[in-house]
Structure 1
Amino acid sequence: MRVPVLVAVTAILLSACGTTETPQAEQPNGAASGPVKVTDSRGKSVELKGAAQRVVALEWGEAEVVASLGVMPVGVADTAGYKTWDAVAPLDASVKDVGKRGEPSVDSIVALNPDVVIMAAERDSALVPQLEKYVPVVVTKSSDAARNFDRLREDVKMIAQAIGKTAEADKLLSEMDTKLADGKKALAAKAGTPFFMADGYLEGSTVSIRPFGKGSLVSDTAEALGLKNAWTGQVDPQWALGQTDVEGLTALTDPNTVLFYSASEEDVFTTGLAQNPVWQRLPFVSSKKVHKLEAGTWTFGGPKSVVHIADQFVKALA
């Protein structure tokens, strides 16, 4: 299963304060034609010759945002995985695969002659100086369990500044806010309903379950709809993800708890747990309050992923 690298990092307040030089003639996409400066999550001012049109994205959430804003990346890490796990902003067939998300190919990236490379902060820091020898690099925060919605807005606006799509970013974020507000109204009668969100994978013959704790993007989305995260176990400070097994789920005793889970590849909740007697006795299993998110629902994505997740929570509970 493809998952983000879980590295705890110090929270950095992002600044989306891109600026342009003196007024210039407009490009076809509406961006000024002069140099663009973007301050990224490192606090570094990254200068581009102009609004980037040839973009390489090394994380799926960032690739989703770029495509959502109307610029098709020229390169993305693990395009096959993206197509499996993130269906809300499809990639064109022309998008080149530049290697694994955790180990992209510098040669493949540089060969595409990009205007900018956009990558997540938790990826191999040694890669940044290698790439910066050839191309500007903008580093996003990608996740912050202390302030994930604020972090998401900052990442989106920063990316939009780099590619000259600030108006589109405002619209994208406004649509997300409207969807969450409408969803909360639709679930008003279910306010406070406890939910448990997880994904999982097989380790030998054992199913390992990864809870999405308070502060994860999915949890923030569900809480914005008026729901309450039932998982109180330990989670990491960046992604708010935990670790447990089926026995650990016996702590979820509230009969009103609803389970949502993600499995765009192997569904271990069906293949690995269906016959497990502990699993069968769990309140949300015995009461059939188990909902699988649609294939292609990326739980670490951009505003379109948030909307897609919110729609599924509302549909399941309304």
Structure 2
Amino acid sequence: MKRLTALAVAAVATVALAACGTTEEPADENSATGGDPITVTDERGVEVTLDGPAVKVGATEWNVVEYLVSLGIQPTAVSDVKGFQTWDNSVQLDDSVTDIGTRGEPNLDTLAPLGLDVMFVTDSLVEGAVEQIEDSGVPVIVMNGGDATDPIGHMWKNVDLVAEVTGTQDAAADLKDQFDTTLAEAKEAVAATDLAGTPVAFADGWDTGEAVTVRPFTSGSQLGAILAELGLPSAWEDVEGVEGDAVYGLGQTDVEGLTKLPEDAVFWYIGGADESDVYADTLADNAIWQSLQFVKDGEVERLPDGTWMFGGPAAMTQFIDAVVAIAEGS
């Protein structure tokens, strides 16, 4: 565990040093005018051409924000800065970052004067938002938030795209090497514990006021894929009625649905941004919850807050370290 933590700290330290300037620094500090033109094709199939590596970059989705900081680029514009800082503490934003509103609908009045070289978004924006950003003179690159058929591979596909646009391919290669080392060492560490091979039901959840909704992270989710790489299969795979969506691998069930989980499963979850805990608090007196084998056996774990479940290599390293800590304490 100490070795893994050291690697993670080293990665963050590398990011902090790189934040003063990218690994492959563009010639112009204010616009994408240094180097040769860059042309990429986004998820729409649209070709986007920049004059050179982008320096002033904006992003609506937090995974891209994390990619940028990890690659040594402090974004100029970020949607919901406070939310990002609450949900993803794997990297740190500078105070100079401009908040441009919600992730689904950025504030164009705030965004337009920033003179961005490029804006990264996903297809979850409100209708017409992409076109409005482009009409303001900012090139837009649309990315998919995930791919349940290959969640880890898709994460690196997105990282590589951001690196190409910002001229930080060397930093991306280093990031992947660090991550691969962390993952390999974590797999070996978990294999040496009693937890090895145990099916894990990972979820988050919330109280709707009428009932507790459970959101399973299936094997198609990024976290589910990481767990599988560590030798911890998804406990949701054989649960009738639980199917992950095509992008994020997320399902939906309720407390009663948890009774369908295998008896040898453990249950792990992430808490809410408001420090609420539906599993420890709301369900404390729920007869169905209390009857579950993993509850009776004390095999319920809340992972550290601030680990963004849909994040990049930095957040996934946090998750891996948390899994190893649980495994070695089992």
**TM-score scaled by length of structure 1:** 0.88
CA offset digits 1:65-85 (Å, max 9, x no partner): 111111111111011100110
Give the 4+ runs in structure 1 shifted more than 6 A: none
CA distance in 1, matches of 2:203, 2:70: 26
Residue 220 of structure 1 aligns with which residue? 225
- Pick the aligned partner of 1:262 from 267, 270, 286: 270
What's 1:229 paired with?
A: 234
CA distance in 2, matches of 1:141, 1:303: 17
How far off is 1:293 after superposition? 1.3
Identity among equivalent positions (%) equals: 39
Q: Which residue of 2 aligns with 1:12?
A: none
Deviation at 1:28, TM superposition (A): 7.8
d(CA) in 2 for partners of 1:179 and 1:28?
Answer: 35
**Per-residue deviation at 1:126?**
2.1
In 1: Cα distance, 2:28 partner to 2:99 partner: 27
Amino acid corresponding to residue 152 of structure 2 in structure 1: F
Give the aligned partner of residue 17 of structure 1.
Answer: none
Unaligned runs of 5+ in 1: 1-24
Structure 2 CA distance for aligned equivalents of residues 228 and 55 of structure 1: 38
Q: Structure 1 residue aligned with 2:317, among 294, 307, 310? A: 307
**8 Å CA contact retained: 1:264, 1:297:** no
Query: Which stretch shifts more, 65-74 or 269-278?
Result: 269-278
Report how many aligned residue pairs link the two structures: 292
Which is further off, 106-115 or 297-306? 106-115
Corresponding residue number in structure 2 for 1:288: 298
Residues in 2 aligned to 1:306 and 1:122: alpha-carbon distance in whole angstroms: 23
Give the aligned partner of residue 79 of structure 2.
77
Task: Please give the per-residue CA displacement for 1:203-259, whole angstroms capped at 9, x wherever unaligned.
Answer: 11411110101110000111111111000322211111111111110011323x121
Matched residue, 1:114:
116
Matched position secondary structure for 1:118: strand
Measure the CA separation in 1 of the matches of 2:312 and 2:153. Answer: 12
Whether the aligned pair in 1 keeps the contact of 2:26 and 2:53 (CA below 8 Å) is no
Query: 8 Å contact 2:26–2:55 — kept in the other structure?
Result: no
Matched ranges for 1:53-72 at <5 A: 53-72=55-74
CA RMSD in angstroms comes to: 1.7
Kept in 2: contact 1:32–1:164 (CA 8 A): no
The corresponding residue for 1:252 is 261
Partner of 1:195: 200
2:170 to 159, 167, 171: 167
Match of 1:143 in 2: 146
Q: 1:26/1:240 Cα in 2 relative to 1: closer, same or farther (>3 Å)?
A: closer
TM-score (norm 2): 0.84
